Amino acid sequence: MTDLTTQFRNLLHDDRAAEGETLLATELREHPENEEAATLYAAHLSNLDRWSDAEAMLEDCIERVSEPNAHLHITLGRMHHNRGQMEEAYAAYSAAFAINPDSADALSSLAQTAPKDERGKLLTLAEAAIERCASDTSRCSSMHFAAGRICDAMARYDQAWQHFVSANELAGVNRTSTFSDRFVEDSREVFTRKYFKQMQGSGAKGASPVFVVGMPRSGTTLVEQRLGRHPQVAGLGELDDMSVMAHNLGRSLRTREHYPRAAGLLQAAQAQALGERYITRTREMAGSSAIKRTIDKSPLNFRLLGLIAITLPGAKIIHARRHPLDTCLSNYFQEFFSPELSYSYDLKACGDYYVRYRKIMQWWERVLPLKIHHSDYEKLVADPEQGFTRLLTLCGLKWDPAVLSNTAAKSVIRTASITQARQPIYRESSERWRNYEPWLGPLQDQLKNYL
């Protein structure tokens, strides 16, 4: 973290946002090419829903730089992309790629926003870029991911598969994840029916936050974004509050045990304090008093449902499910950057992770005092009104036609599913695995108990 970033964040932390804005505005007035300052300022303004100010700032920097700057165009493109303005986003990404045709960020972003009649041209550019960056493993991996997405969109599945294999082989250096077989076994040993009976009555009272959980790429973004269009719902995106709570639990309890074993030492009053802290923060994020439900759609919270149950006993749990092969394949085709998702770089590791996920969800179904409401992706896209009506009912809310409106959502999407969530609800992603069935034999064997 640089001095500028540290200084800005310290000002925000001290409730001196105006001074922080002055700091960045002054820096950009003197140095419009400062990518760090522009990115920080754009993120800050967008978080305040000051989109016009953010776009005007970036356009001013682009106009005043002495040399064309691809990063500034990419940042502007992402502003448009996050708001569902695909044509403007594509134009900004195209400008970035024209400045730097070896930019993996620009190419990857173009692959997500390219109009149908531009895909052939874009694929030619991607293949040329791959040849040029052969010695740069990380960049070449990103280029292969982009080329794979383009080929998939063009129904060139043989070619797409080869690109995705190359992308993952180049990217798959670290496959360590904290979600191990040991984690599952420890969760089963700690979170028993007896444990939940002992903790009955613990946790924050009178609040019913909604958690949308499941495997990444299983439809969690679709559920959150559509429910978030309801006037009484605030979709808060992928919050890290529960994972931070779990990570810090051992330290806060002054034990050497880590989560999930540390949860076995939690007392009722401590569970209540943790739950109340979560409620306070999410209510502040929601803002309006008209909001009756907040949605946290961090998919990996499926690992932490035991902790959620004892700290937030009024929570509503929506479990997003998708066909096992589609789920694993979609993970394999996505360029994730989080170490927790690095299993996705290997198809067998995807299968192993999926099996662990199903095992822990089966355990929660047996012992959790909270009801788990399942939302199957295939059923949801086949009959959205029925599916979302059911989900709203379990949240204690009445139907609102805004849920199925294809106008821009209230909240901003910052996940790997951004492009799909900004489009009308289509069925094309269902049974996508059939396009790649010739290469999925080992994975099918691995997941045979769940197919």
The residue assigned the tokens 């951004």 is: 418
Rg (CA), the chain: 23
Q: What backbone torsions phi and psi does residue 374 show, to the nearest 5 degrees?
A: -90, 140
Write out the H or E segment, with its range, that includes residue 222: helix 220-227
Full DSSP string of 87-133: HHHHHHHHHHHHH-TT-HHHHHHHHHH--GGGHHHHHHHHHHHHHHT
Neighbours of 69 (CB within 10 A): 20
d(CA 371, CA 268): 21
H-only helix segments in 312-376: 324-332, 347-367
d(CA 435, CA 151): 12
Helix, coil or strand: residue 295: strand
The distance between the two most distant Cα atoms of the chain, rounded to a whole number of Å, is 68
pLDDT of residue 413: 41
Cα atoms in the 13 Å half-sphere on the side-chain side of 389: 6
Write out the H or E segment, with its range, that includes residue 234: strand 233-235
For the record, the structure tokens of 84 come out as: 């569902």
CA quadruple 7, 13, 15, 19: dihedral, nearest 10: 10
d(CA 142, CA 242): 30
Burial 84-118 (b: 16+ CB within 10 A, else e): bbbebbbbbbbbbbebbeebbbbbbbbbbbbeeee
What CATH number was assigned to the domain covering residues 181-421? 3.40.50.300
Structure pTM? 0.86
Rounded to 10°, the helix 3-13/17-30 angle is: 150
Phi-psi domain of 237 (left: phi exceeds 0; alpha: psi -120 through 50; beta: other): left
Q: What is the DSSP letter of 378?
A: H
Residues linked to residue 211 through DSSP beta bridges, in sequence order:
296, 317
CA quadruple 422, 428, 433, 438: dihedral, nearest 10: -130
CB 170 within 8 A of CB 137: yes
Nearest partner of 395 among 321, 319, 316, judged by Cα: 316
Q: What is the DSSP letter of 408?
A: P
Digitized pLDDT (tens) for each residue of the chain, 451 residues in all: 578 888 888 887 777 889 999 999 999 999 999 999 999 999 888 877 788 999 999 999 999 999 999 999 999 999 998 888 999 999 999 999 999 998 888 988 998 899 999 999 999 999 999 999 888 998 999 999 999 999 999 999 999 999 999 999 998 765 567 899 999 999 999 999 999 999 999 999 988 999 999 999 999 999 998 999 999 999 988 999 999 999 999 999 999 999 999 999 999 999 999 999 999 989 988 877 889 999 999 999 999 999 999 999 999 999 999 999 999 999 999 999 888 899 999 999 999 999 999 999 999 999 999 999 999 999 999 999 999 999 999 999 999 999 998 654 444 444 444 444 444 555 666 889 999 999 999 999 999 999 9
CB 325 within 8 A of CB 430: no
pLDDT of residue 426: 53
